[in-house]
């Protein structure tokens, strides 16, 4: 009987040690999950802000005559440009915690595409002009956090070209949207 003395104490201490290690592991795992969730939430807020800003810029009626027009470029050209390049050639502004830059590419008018616009006497056909809007949103607190979105829009044009084939109707506004970064 005397040889079993202290056995219970050692067993209880061993189990307490195991539970303490498991608790620390669970706490570390929970902290890591919270950090990851915070990063995802921050990225989501950047994405939502960029989409809201892009929608606001799309509604701007001055897009076709803007000073922010650049020649047509490839996606790789946009994604590899530095902030200095964006500052020198683009229009810029602030939106919440973000600095944004945007440029417009004139893709041209299609002589056979038209937009129907309502007026007092019914509707009239107006030629369609295609433009591409590229937006770079940069977090002012961390310049490595960026979102780049690109959209193609159809705007009314005063193009007088004559269509050689069958004309077709297009819907004004956003035609496509993509995330570049």
pLDDT in tens, 59-105: 876 666 668 899 999 999 999 999 999 999 999 999 888 999 999 99
DSSP state of 86: H
End-to-end CA distance of the chain: 73
SS3 60: coil
Rounded Cα gap, residues 126 and 137, in angstroms: 33
Task: Identify whether the C-beta of residue 146 lies closer than 8 Å to the C-beta of residue 137.
Answer: yes
Structure-derived torsion over alpha carbons of residues 37, 42, 47, 51, reported in degrees to the nearest 10: 130
pTM score > 0.85 for this model?
A: no
**pLDDT, tens only, 34-69:** 999 999 998 898 999 999 999 988 887 666 666 889
DSSP state of 125: E
């Amino acid at each position: 009987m005397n040889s079993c003395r202290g056995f219970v104490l050692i067993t209880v201490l061993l189990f307490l040690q195991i539970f303490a290690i498991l608790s620390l592991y669970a706490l570390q795992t929970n902290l890591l999950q919270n950090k990851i969730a915070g990063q995802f939430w921050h990225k989501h807020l950047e994405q939502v802000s960029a989409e809201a800003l892009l929608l606001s810029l799309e509604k701007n009626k001055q897009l076709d005559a803007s000073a922010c027009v650049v020649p047509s470029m490839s996606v790789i050209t946009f994604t590899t440009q530095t902030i200095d390049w964006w500052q020198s050639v683009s229009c810029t502004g602030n939106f919440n915690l973000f600095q944004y830059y945007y440029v417009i590419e004139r893709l041209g008018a299609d002589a056979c595409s038209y937009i129907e616009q309502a007026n007092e006497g019914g509707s009239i056909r107006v030629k369609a002009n295609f433009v591409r809007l590229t937006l770079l949103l940069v977090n002012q607190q961390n310049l490595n956090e960026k979102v780049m979105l690109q959209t193609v829009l159809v705007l009314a044009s005063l193009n007088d070209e004559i269509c050689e084939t069958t004309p077709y109707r297009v819907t004004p506004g956003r035609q496509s949207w993509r995330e570049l970064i």
